[in-house]
Amino acid sequence: MGSEAHAPPARPRLGVFKLASCDGCQLTLIGCEDELLALSEKVDIAHFPEASSRTDVHGRFDVALVEGSVSAEWQREELLSIRERSKLLVTIGACATSGGVQALRNGKDVSEFVRAVYASPAYISTLDRSTPVSAHVSVDYELRGCPIDKHQLLEVLTALLVGRRPAIRDESVCMECKRRGNVCVLVAHGEPCLGPVVHAGCGALCPRFARGCYGCFGPKESPATAALAARLKELGVPAADLARRFRSISGGAPAFADEAAKQELEHD
């Protein structure tokens, strides 16, 4: 400790990278305005194409923030290169962490989607599955959310800089919902809510506005998806609807993908 005071260490180099994604998570970083200034004093934001013209495509990084899933071959190659050049790799958001909305196509015929969506399908080159970063390289920390939460992002960066474990809880959305004093929408209104199996971090945003959680932070630690599915059925939610709910934002996460598949089977 004492010695650190005398020779300030070189500022750690941070890179922000994007694969298949909508940029929403990077926007969260830009949205940190005040904190971003303080952050840029502490770290050298060496590559952040979204926010500045300064880029360093081939440099080495202490921390790489990776947004987006792997949806095309060039993304896979870039990811391998980022990993090689970075000490710590943090995925930001549902796409990078579990495949994102793009993972809806997994298990389906992609060429059909391409034909349906794009005017000139010939220009489109895509893999038939959208996969999370962790399917290709080792990940040091996963930040959930669609988009990520600003406080969690700052917490992870701070913890990495200070050298402690990020204070990010792997508990359910219900815990946050209750701490905020919300009235449970599932119990009081019979509203289908995924909160009990979803990773905390959003501050129970949807239940705060009287809506059920739709799971953008992905599964929590030990998610009881089968038990929740059974309960929601008792409340009258049909299997097909349940499958859709588990598929939506974090459908690529194994726990949700499995439950969705089970419900689809039942529906067929």
The site for another protein (CB under 8 A) is made up of 1-5, 38-39, 42, 155, 157-158, 161-165, 167, 169-172, 174-175, 178-184, 186-190, 193, 195-197, 210, 221-222, 224, 226-228, 230-231, 234
Residue 134 or 158 with smaller CB distance to another protein: 158
200 part of the interface to ligand SF4, by CB under 6 A: no
Which residue's CB comes closest to ligand SF4? 195
Q: Pick from ligand SF4, another protein, none: which does 155 bind, CB < 5 to 8 A by kind?
A: another protein
CB atoms closer than 10 angstroms to residue 222: 9
Residue 80 or 210 with smaller CB distance to another protein: 210
Binding mask 107-126 for ligand SF4 (x = CB under 6 A): --------------------
Among 192, 195, 223, 251, binds ligand SF4 (CB under 6 A): 195
- Give the nearest distance from C-beta 160 to another protein in angstroms: 10
Q: Pick from another protein, ligand SF4, none: which does 188 bind, CB < 5 to 8 A by kind?
A: another protein
Q: Pick from ligand SF4, another protein, none: which does 171 bind, CB < 5 to 8 A by kind?
A: another protein
Peptide bond into 132 cis (omega under 30): no
Residue 27 or 159 with smaller CB distance to another protein: 159
Q: Pick from another protein, ligand SF4, none: which does 204 bind, CB < 5 to 8 A by kind?
A: ligand SF4
Q: Pick from another protein, ligand SF4, none: which does 180 bind, CB < 5 to 8 A by kind?
A: another protein
CB atoms closer than 10 angstroms to residue 108: 11
Stretch touching ligand SF4 by CB under 6 A, among 42-50, 79-87, 189-197, 231-239 = 189-197
What does the CA dihedral 25, 66, 69, 24 come to, rounded to 10 degrees?
10
C-alpha angle with apex 232: 101 to 263, nearest 5 degrees? 55
Q: Which of 224, 236, 233, 247 is nearest to 174 (CA)?
A: 224
Q: Which residues of 169-183 are buried (b: 16+ CB within 10 A; e: fewer)?
A: eeebbbebbeeeebe
Residue 99 or 207 with smaller CB distance to ligand SF4: 207
Among 25, 79, 173, 260, binds ligand SF4 (CB under 6 A): 173
